[in-house]
Chain A
C-alpha cells in the first residue's frame, strides 16, 4: 500500500507537477520544433515516452549493477585486487553521463530498427523524429534523476527500485506528451492569429511556452496535498482517525442544512 502511494506520487510528480518541459525546461528543442501539428506532436510524445522507458530500464540496471558504490558487479571484480571493505567503495558514478548517452543512443537505434520492421506505418509517420530523440535532453534528464535517486540518497533503503524508475520515466514521457500536445493545439490556433512580425515563429512559441509553464506552476503544492490525502485516507481506514467526524453527524448536519434551505425558499 505504501509502495502504491509512493508510485502514484512519483507518477503525478513526473507527469504534471514537475513536468519535464514546463517545470525543469528540458526537452525544449522538440517542444518548439515538432509542435506545429497535433498529430506530429502526439507521435513525438509517444516516441519519447517509449524511448524514455527503455532508457530508464537500461540505465537503472547499469547504475545499480555497476556504477554506484557497493554495486554487485564492480565490487565483485574489485574484490580480486582489494580488500572487500575497500572494494565496496569503488565509485563509478563519474561515468554516468557518458554511459547514459551511450545507452540512449543505442536504444534509439534499436527501437528504430524494431519499429521499421514491425510497424512500417508508424515508422513512416515518425520520419526524422525518431533518430532526433537521441539528442533529446529530457531522456538524459530522466536517467540522471533516476541515478541521483539511487546514488544520492543517504539511506540505501530509500533508493529507487526498478518499478519506481520505470514509473518515473514513463510518466515523465506522458508529461512531455501532455505538454507538447497542449503546445501543438495552441500553435495551430496561433497560425490564424495576427502576430507582430518580430515575434513570429519560434519567438511567440517560447513566449507561449513560458505562459504555459506559469500555468503549470499552479500545480506546485499539489504533491504534498496529494500525499497528505493519500496517507490520511489510509490511516482513516486502518485505525478510524478520531478527528474525522462520524458519518451519522455528517448526515445530521446535511439534513439541518437542507431544512434551512427549504425554510428560506
Chain B
C-alpha cells in the first residue's frame, strides 16, 4: 500500500511542480515582456555579423539598436558596404547617403634596407613590445615590422612585406583593427573616393636633416608638393593630404607633385583598376604565385 501511495505522491509532486512552475513562468513571461522592435531583429539579420566595431559601435546588434532608435546613418557598416546599406534602407525606409569605403593607409614606406640606425632586437617579436625599447630603429615614427597588424587582421588583408606593413586592398574590408592595434599609429582609416588614391607614405615629423639620418626614403618636408597641389599642406614638417578636399579634379596637380617629390613619398595605393591592369599587362612582372599545396609524402620509388 505504502509503495503505491509513494508512487502516486511522487507523480503528484512532479505534476504539481510542473503546474506551479509553468504558471509562474507564464506569468513572468507576460509581466517581464520586453518589447523588441521587429525592425531591430531585421537590421541584425541584414548586417554581416562580423562584430568588428568598424561602425563605431560595440557590435552589430548595438549598431542595429542605434540605427532603429537613434536614426544613426545606415551606411556606417564598412563590412557590408553598399549592399548592406541598401538592405538597411529598405528596412528603415530612408534614403542612403553617399557611402564611401574607408580603408587603412600605412603611412610609412621604408622597407628594411631603407631604415637606418637599426640595432638587433632580441625581445618579444611584437611591435607593442619593441616600441617600448629605444633604438630598435632610428626612425621613431615608422613601421617596426613585427606584424601586430597582421595578427589583428581577421581577413588576412595586411602582411609584413620586407619589414613593412602592406595592405592587400582586395581582401581588406576596412574594419580598422590594424589601425587600432598599431602602437605607432601610422595606420589611418582613410576615405577612398576612388579605387586608388594618392597618399603620403611617411609619418616622420622631424626636420629634413634628422629624417635623412634615420631613413633613406622619409619625407623631408621640402614643401615641393605643397607648392604644386592645393590639397597638400605641411603639418609639422610632414606633407599631408586633405582627403576632404580630395577629388578627381586635383589628380593632375597631385601627379605633378608626385613627380617632383625628391623622396618619392607620394604614391598611389589601393586596388589596381582594370585600366591599370591592362596598361601593365605588357610589362614584365613576375606572375602571381598562388599557394599550391602538395602532399609532403615522398612516394617516389628509389632506383639505385
Q: Do A and B come from one complex?
A: yes
Interface residues of A (CB under 8 A from B): 62, 66-67, 74, 77-78, 81-82, 86, 89-92, 94-95, 98-99, 102-103, 106, 109-110, 113-114, 116-118, 120
Say yes or no: is B133 at the interface (Cβ < 8 Å to chain A).
no
Q: Report the minimal beta-carbon distance from B63 to chain A, rounded to whole angstroms.
A: 14
B5, B9, B21, B33 — most chain A CB neighbours (10 Å): B9
B5 neighbours in A (Cβ, 8 Å): 78, 81-82, 90
Closest residue of B by beta carbon distance from A81? B5
A109 neighbours in B (Cβ, 8 Å): 25
Inter-chain contact A110/B24, CB cutoff 8 Å: yes
Say yes or no: is B29 at the interface (Cβ < 8 Å to chain A).
yes
Inter-chain contact B17/A110, CB cutoff 8 Å: no
Q: Mind listing 13 A-B residue pairs with CB under 8 Å?
A: A78-B5, A82-B1, A89-B2, A98-B14, A102-B18, A102-B21, A103-B17, A103-B21, A109-B25, A110-B24, A110-B28, A113-B28, A113-B32
B1, B6, B14, B18 — most chain A CB neighbours (10 Å): B6
Task: Indicate whether A92 sits within 8 Å of B1 (C-beta atoms), given known contacts A106-B25, A117-B34.
Answer: no
A-B pairs with lowest CB-CB distance, top 6: A117-B32, A113-B32, A106-B21, A113-B28, A74-B9, A78-B5
A114 neighbours in B (Cβ, 8 Å): 28, 32
Closest residue of B by beta carbon distance from A110? B28
Assembled-state Cα–Cα distance A90/B9 (Å) = 9
Inter-chain contact B13/A116, CB cutoff 8 Å: no
B25 neighbours in A (Cβ, 8 Å): 106, 109-110, 113
Inter-chain contact A99/B29, CB cutoff 8 Å: no
B contacts with A, residue count (CB < 8 A): 20
Assembled-state Cα–Cα distance A102/B15 (Å) = 11
| Binary CB contact string for chain B from 148 to 186 against chain A (1 if under 8 A, 0 otherwise) | 000000000000000000000000000000000000000
Inter-chain contact B17/A99, CB cutoff 8 Å: yes
Assembled-state Cα–Cα distance A110/B29 (Å) = 8
Assembled-state Cα–Cα distance A167/B179 (Å) = 50
Task: Indicate whether A94 sits within 8 Å of B10 (C-beta atoms), given known contacts A82-B1, A110-B24.
Answer: yes
Task: Indicate whether A66 sits within 8 Å of B13 (C-beta atoms), given known contacts A82-B1, A113-B28, A113-B32.
Answer: yes
B24 neighbours in A (Cβ, 8 Å): 106, 110
Inter-chain contact B10/A92, CB cutoff 8 Å: yes
Q: Report the minimal beta-carbon distance from A8 to chain B, rounded to whole angstroms.
A: 34
**A102 contacts which of B2, B6, B17 (Cβ < 8 Å)?**
B17
New contact pairs (4) apart from A77-B12, A82-B5, A106-B25, CB-CB < 8 Å: A67-B13, A102-B18, A113-B32, A117-B32
B28-43 CB contacts (< 8 Å) to partner A:
28-29, 31-34
Q: Report the minimal beta-carbon distance from A263 to chain B, rounded to whole angstroms.
A: 54
Assembled-state Cα–Cα distance A120/B31 (Å) = 15
Closest residue of B by beta carbon distance from A117? B32
Q: Report the minimal beta-carbon distance from A258 to chain B, rounded to whole angstroms.
A: 51
A106 neighbours in B (Cβ, 8 Å): 21, 24-25
Assembled-state Cα–Cα distance A42/B187 (Å) = 35
Inter-chain contact B29/A113, CB cutoff 8 Å: yes
A89 neighbours in B (Cβ, 8 Å): 2
Assembled-state Cα–Cα distance A86/B6 (Å) = 11
**B2 contacts which of A66, A90, A94 (Cβ < 8 Å)?**
A90
A98 neighbours in B (Cβ, 8 Å): 14
B33 neighbours in A (Cβ, 8 Å): 117
